[in-house]
Amino acid sequence: MKHAFRMKLRPGSTAEYKRRHDAIWPELAQLLHAAGIYDYSIFLDEESLHLFAVLKLRENHKRAALPHHPVMRRWWDYMRDLMETHPDGRPKEWPLVPMFHLD
């Protein structure tokens, strides 16, 4: 199953966002894989600073449990100065509706 959503960067944070993701913590990558997430990409619209994320979820994924995991909470705290977030540090996400797909 594919899941796509939009997030938003704060002005001036593009390079730092990329730097932090290029050095993603091994324990975070392992957590995402263990939760059933794979083939995860994030794209930037440089004009609007919107991030567009697309990921695939395995059939019995555990994505809903991630907000409660300490590693995920620590990552969100690490990233919150770069992105629009909820008061608890979780990045604001806006779901994207599938409109077209070509295999």
Please give the structure tokens belonging to residue 71: 């590693």
61 included as an active-site residue: no
Average pLDDT for residues 76-98, to the nearest whole number?
A: 96
Domains defined for the chain, CATH in brackets: 2-95 (3.30.70.100)
Q: What average pLDDT does the segment 15-26 reach?
A: 98
What pLDDT is recorded for position 102? 95
- Residue 57 has a pLDDT of 98
Instruction: Count the alpha carbons within 13 Å of 54 in the hemisphere toward its beta carbon.
Output: 6
3-state helix, strand, coil in the chain (%, to 5): 35, 30, 40
Residue 83 pLDDT: 98
What percent of the chain lies above the pLDDT cut of 70?
Answer: 100
Q: Which of 3, 21, 33, 61 is the catalytic position? A: 21
Residue 89 burial by Cβ neighbours in a 10 Å radius (0-12, 13-18, 19+): middle
